Amino acid sequence: MKFSRIDLSQIIGVLVVVAGITALVGVVVGGAVGRVLDIAAVTALAAAPGVRVISLSASWARARDYKYAAASAALVLLIVTSVIGTAIWR
């Protein structure tokens, strides 16, 4: 799947807006629903740079630059692990 810069900026922009809205609503609502919305906000916020890293990883793999592709895959794994850890801790 190939993303152009415009597509990536639109995706990242939507993720940031979604993160802001869900965090705001989560604070206002509170309780169990607020907690779920806060976790959704953290996930959307973490997904924003993750989208870019995944596209770079795919580009590097297509270019057969496996060292950078592996490093970016490790970074995506770190992002996913940190989001899961934050969701559990929260």
CA-CA distance, 76 to 66, in Å (whole number)? 15
Task: Count Cβ neighbours within 10 Å for each residue of 57-77 and write b for 16 or more, e otherwise.
Answer: beebeeeeeeeebeebbebbe
CA-CA distance, 68 to 60, in Å (whole number)? 6
Domain count, the chain: 1
Could you tell me the pTM of the whole model? 0.69
Contacts of 36 (CB under 8 A, 6+ apart): 26
Could you tell me the residue range of the domain that residue 12 belongs to? Answer: 5-89
Is the separation of the CB atoms in 16 and 45 below 8 Å?
A: yes
- Per residue in 32-54, pLDDT (tens digit) is 899 899 888 988 888 888 888 88
- Per residue in 2-30, pLDDT (tens digit) is 655 557 788 888 889 999 999 999 999 98
